[in-house]
Chains A and B, each alone.
Chain A
Amino acid sequence: MLLIACPHCGKRPETEFRCGGQAHIARPADPMTVDDGAWSEHLFVRANPKGVHAERWCHVHGCGRWFNALRDTISDRFIETYPMGAKPTQFPQSETRA
């Protein structure tokens, strides 16, 4: 079980959170103007990196707030968590290789 540092509440066990998948995917300002390919990319295509991944979490059984996190998907180590709308302060390459 992961230990996740909610930017608002501090470290809490994973079971208090819901993972919302890849972060920083901008919803098109006017979706009706994008073509089917771009729209399906927005909906479905994901980076799914082996290494550092920016993802969204919601402290659903806590403060209820969404935030972002950088996590290494090989080691599952969190590098950083930061509030919605913010940018990460660091973006290292993967710390380990599979």
Chain B
Amino acid sequence: MAQPFRLSRGGRIDRTRPIVFAFNGKPVHGFAGDTVASALLANGIHLVGRSFKYHRPRGILSHGPDEPSALLSVDRGPGRIDPNNRASVVEARSGLRTTSQNHWPSLEFDVGAVNDLLSPVFVAGFYYKTFMWPRKFWDKVYEPFIRAAAGLGKAPTVADPDRYANRHAHCDVLVVGAGPAGLAAALAAARTGKRVILADEGAEPGGSLLHDTTSQIDGRPAADWLAETLAELDARENVILLPRTTAFGYYNHNHVAMTERVTDHLTSAAGQAPRERLWQVRAEQVVLAGGAHERPLVFADNDRPGILLAESVRVFLNRYGVAPGRRLVFATCGASAYQAALDARAAGLDVTLVDLRLEADCGPELAQLRSAGAEVLTGHTVIGSKGRKRVTGLVVAPVGSDGRCGGRRLLACDCVGMSGGWTPAVHLFSQSRGKLRYDDAIDAFVPNISAQAERSAGAARGTYDLAACVNEGFSAGAAAAGSDERQEVRATPTLTGFQPVRIMPTDANPTKVRAFVDYQNDVTAKDIKLAVREGFQSIEHVKRYTTTGMATDQGKTSNMNALGIVAGQLDKALPAVGTTTFRPPYTPVTFGALVGPARHALFDPIRTTPIHEWAEAHGALFENVALWRRAWYFPKAGEDLHAAVARECKAVREGVGIFDASTLGKIEIVGRDAAEFMNRLYINPWTKLAPGRCRYGLMLKEDGYILDDGVVARVSDECFHVTTTTGGAARVLAHMEDYLQTEWPELEVFLTSTTEQWAVIALQGPKARDVIAPLVDGIDLSPEAFPHMAMRSGTICGVPTRLFRVSFTGELGFEINVPSDHARAVWEAVFAAGRAHGITPYGTETMHVLRAEKGYIIVGQETDGTVTPDDVGMAGMIPKAKGDFVGKRSLARPDVVASGRKQLVGLMTDDPKLVLDEGAQIVADTGQPIPMRMLGHVTSSYWSANCGRSIALALVEGGRERAGGHLHVTTPDGFTRVTVCEPVFFDTKGERINA
């Protein structure tokens, strides 16, 4: 198919593999190896987008990751649409559908371009100065208008069907960038035998060598050196070569994050292949060889489609076999653009070059280009460009030593290649917190003092000559691998030499000139000067006020020009204005790559108990508690939560219920000093607790507030079986280890988490003993031999058990601890034995109701990190004579002993059917004005089938003294009256538990 701007030969594209993709619905033909940008250019398409603010027609500026303008939405199939892709890095392949962005109704005719006419008003920061009246208009009118105008492409609207992978890797030497310096570095490091990873953002490693068709290395074409080097690296088992892999973040301690694009370039990817892979590399040493970015020239209307960076013109010519135009004008202030011009001449194109430098300041490049038949105008500035949706000409003029412009001349052209010099890509170096140094000779910041184990090489540290890059890279790679090996190649000298310019001299009225610095955000030189005039003099202020450097290219093409203009305006040296700190990422990174597989069930691990599948099979619904899935309730057909819980609650009090308590945290505390350790950690005393007995323990943080609670059994003199709350297990163990290891290392105590080892089957209700009696061996279950708060070892169903006689319901109850592997079998046996007694499985909701009927607290519900033992009525558990324990001192602080603290009470609504909202607030007087004085809040509230009414627990200021009094509690639409009572609603004498 016709690709009118495809050169007849050359390039690294595969002309045997044609491809076709869509751009704005029209087919675009190209070849395998093309980027979307090169294929568009091969078809003469330059207009590919509209700018952010002024909706100016924009084309392709660059060939690489620094592209600010050519941003396309790319559709790779259902659910695989994403915006803001740089056409210069998206590999073209059949089946892609690309569309331009930020225009209406079409790219060619965009109503938004009216903004361009209003540009005299829409200067930097204009929105800070207006849109303030009338006040209500901001939310309703102005902001929606601004928001609709802003943004570039459209966000995806459906879930992404692709998957993403994550890999952690270690290596001795990580080399970032596979251009001449990076390749040489990898080679040198690899030859030492060290483990090397070489990552390059391009589809093909090689960097500038991929478009350097004229240089020779050691007398042979550079391409040969590239091929041989890659072959050697490829053959080495100690080298991982990663193309399409962008190192985007340099974090602490040589932790480098990279993203690998795995399948986007493939027409049909293997089914399970990830779209991208995040590499997190921990490298002993890093070599940064990420090259440099070319700077645009700042002149009026330097943003027209058809105006490219000079090196990008060369890349399109040599690497892709595409002529971005037929009549080319190069504009430059340095030598490198001459190579592009020479290559364009060699491709048979019409070439003129305009150099701001005076004849005498130019090097050998001048004669070379002239002898190639191109016109070269030295000492000339660019005044502006002509054209609208495509450049048609460049207005140039001679400029005298006084800066005054001579007569204008229009150079007709269909493509401009400009070069304002080069900026080393110091992003990763800066992220590593290395210190930069301004190098006057190349007008750029270069790496100076390293902060981490890294070194830079090649253009990334301002070395532009090919042989120097290779040799420097080799030395850097060798040094990174601990070798002092050197290598000296000889190569064709690279055309370097450059005189920096901030804004091209012009004879136009400076207030009318719109010379773009940040293309994407439409920031002009004029905007930057305005910001400086208004007092924004730090580069960080200028960035934020004008938004220069804040677009998706993060200022790769604009930062140095912006800095230069600020420096010029302030009449300061450039480094005095400072450089901005580079932050990750180097180029935008897909969220999916950062997330990897961490979705849904892999977002957080799900912990389940050995009884989980049984509960599922018996119709349980589950709730998340910390990482656990716990059975919430077991509805029978037609039952809702309310009905099921009412039934379960009755069943426990009238017969027997079975409950999976396996999620309780369990810690085995053993050792000579176990009791002393317990004494120091809990508010309770432990020394005199007899083996085989249990005690409810309460533990504080050092600040005196309740940390956790749970029943503890003394297994032997030197062994305690501690239980914790479900969510608190890890926290409590960490708390214990902290004190044991750091405060009391003299204690001989060992802590072991046994949460996963013991499953716990709670059997609660008056018939509990009857159910297990036939199953238990070796334990006398009689109330006399086995009273409440005792623990016995024996067997159940032949399985060893620690059988606790404890209760969180107020009923006769047992908690059967058995090894987890046997839990399901024991559970089923108990359940089968219980059928005759009407055994009922119950879940966490019923557990909550039953314990609330008894006024038992749940840490984290009745307590919230500001509650002391006295607040919940448990100060009595602290023996008067008890010595120090964690948190004791804090209980004596003035505001902790003061009166008026919130205390745990029960509440009963006047209307027994009304169930209060948990979290509802409590006041004494509903007639008071807002803000009202709040006395406390409802911590727990349920319908109690056993009490035949609603019940609630609450923390209330001075609550215990209010017993019998009335208070008012908020409801969704007002207040309701309650009576304060003791926090126990059922079996207030506590007789059932000792049955």
Contacts and interface: CB of A to CB of B under 8 A. Distances in A.
Asked if A and B touch directly (CB within 8 angstroms), the answer is yes
A97 to B, nearest CB: 12
A36 B738 CA distance: 24
Contact size range, B = 20 to 34
B738 A2 contact: no
A39 B741 CA distance: 22
Contacts of B741: 65-66, 84
A75 B253 contact: no
A64 B598 CA distance: 26
Contacts of A56: 742
B451 to A, nearest CB: 6
Contacts of A65: 741
A30 B884 contact: yes
Nearest to B257: A1
A20 interface: yes
B571 to A, nearest CB: 29
Contact of A1 (B255, B737, B742): B255
Interface in B666-717: 702-703
A72 to B, nearest CB: 11
Given A32-B892, A43-B703, A65-B741, A76 B884 contact: no
B254 A66 contact: no
A84 B742 contact: yes
Interface in A10-62: 13, 18, 20, 27-28, 30-32, 34, 36, 39-40, 43, 56, 58, 60
Given A3-B252, A39-B893, A31 B884 contact: yes
B890 A43 contact: yes
Contacts of A3: 252-255, 282
A31 B889 CA distance: 6
Contacts of A27: 743
A23 B824 CA distance: 46
Given A27-B743, A39-B890, A75-B451, A18 B282 contact: no
B251 interface: yes
Interface string A61-84: 000111000000001110000001
B888 interface: yes
A36 B704 CA distance: 13
Contacts of B364: none
B252 A2 contact: yes
A20 B743 CA distance: 13
B544 interface: no
B892 A60 contact: no
B738 A58 contact: yes
Contacts of A64: 737
A34 B254 contact: no
B683 to A, nearest CB: 14
A31 B252 contact: no
Contact of B745 (A34, A43, A84): A84
B326 interface: no
B894 interface: yes
Contacts of B889: 28, 31-32, 34, 39
A16 to B, nearest CB: 12
Given A43-B702, A58-B734, A66-B737, A1 B888 contact: no
A85 interface: yes
Nearest to A78: B253
B163 to A, nearest CB: 23
B252 A66 contact: no
B892 A66 contact: no
- Top 9 closest pairs, chain A to chain B, by CB: A31-B889, A3-B253, A66-B741, A76-B252, A1-B255, A66-B742, A2-B252, A27-B743, A39-B889
Given A32-B884, A64-B737, A66-B738, 7 more contacts: A1-B280, A3-B252, A3-B255, A20-B742, A43-B703, A43-B890, A66-B741
20 contacts: A1-B255, A2-B252, A2-B253, A3-B255, A13-B282, A20-B742, A27-B743, A31-B888, A31-B889, A32-B888, A32-B889, A32-B892, A36-B894, A39-B890, A65-B741, A66-B738, A75-B433, A77-B253, A84-B742, A84-B745
